[in-house]
Amino acid sequence: MAVLAIVLAYYLESDPISRILLIGSVWLVLVVETINSAIEAVVDRIGPELHPLSGRAKDLGSLAVTLAIILAAWIWISLLWRLVQ
């Protein structure tokens, strides 16, 4: 999906700043997802027992990914809406 979005951003008739925002928002989601995966790996490495702080770390990592996706969607919708008009 990310590759498709980046390729699409190159083919859209937009100014360079809009293209940077479109592509940058996709990269931001990938970076935050990578950090979330690292957090989950560290928590899983520490031990299999359930601990409230472990669950909180994983939940906050997932929240960060969700917020990055919402931001990317907002950027894409806003800029595509501007291009259509």
Q: Where are the domains of the chain?
A: 20-84
pLDDT of residue 48: 80
Point out the residues that are catalytic. 33
Kindly state the average pLDDT of the residues 17-42: 96
- pLDDT for 29 equals 98
Whole-prediction pTM: 0.89
CA distances from 57 to 33, 35, 48 (A): 14, 12, 14
User: Could you give the percent of the chain with pLDDT greater than 90?
Assistant: 81
Q: Does the domain formed by 20-84 have CATH 1.10.287.3610?
A: yes
